[in-house]
Amino acid sequence: MSDLNFKSEFQKIFRDLRKEMYEKFNRHVSLQDLFSDRWETAKFYKFGEGTSCYNNVLIIGDVKVGKNTWIGPNVILDGSGGLEIGDHCSISAGVQIYSHDTVQKSLSLGKDPAKTLKTRVGNGVYIGPNSIIEKGISIGDQSIIGTMSFVNTNIPKGSKFYGIPAKEFKNP
């Protein structure tokens, strides 16, 4: 097969897959997500039954995810120090969850190691788009983290936190 034929055939496959995705889910996704299956990706990483994970998610180290959790596009899951995410969570697009940092390693010009701490996200947690969870944080069950929040403190069960840094939101 010539390069021109291959390119033409590949473009046809791309258009067909794109059309199928649009008709089935009314969405456009990246080329890699047209060729992959979100549930198969989650299964490959031994995440829980019914969990889906976009192909473009960066997964590092020891990451454990429960059942029926949705992990959106462009997410970072850093399990360098251990990361656990519960059942029935929504990890929105662009979320970054860390379990390590290299601050002291950089400041010591490489003499000190990276610092690691286990991070935990409970069951039934919603984390809004582009939020960042610092290493060592624990987010309690059925909590909400608002869009574009920076979480650097533990979050109690059933609470709502928003902002930079994230602060508790209480209904009046």
- pTM: predicted TM-score of the whole model, two decimal places: 0.91
pLDDT at 28: 87
Low-confidence residues in the chain, pLDDT < 50 = none
Q: Which helix (H) or strand (E) holds 139?
A: strand 138-139
Query: Nearest to residue 119, comparing CAs of 102, 144, 96, 103?
Result: 96
pLDDT at 38: 93
pLDDT at 1: 63
pLDDT at 4: 75
Summarize pLDDT for 71-106 with one digit per residue, the tens.
999 999 999 999 999 999 999 999 999 999 999 999
pLDDT at 14: 92
pLDDT at 126: 98
Measured torsion, CA atoms of residues 122, 126, 130, 133, in degrees rounded to the nearest 10: -20
Q: Which residues contact 9 (CB under 8 A, 6 or more apart)?
A: 1
pLDDT at 33: 86
Domains of the chain with bracketed CATH: 1-35 (no CATH), 37-168 (2.160.10.10)
pLDDT at 172: 64
HEC sequence for 5-65: HHHHHHHHHHHHHHHHHHHHHCCCCCHHHHHCCHHHHHHHCCCCCCCEECCCCEEEEEEEE
Whole-angstrom Cα distance, residue 49 to residue 41?
12
Length of the chain: 172
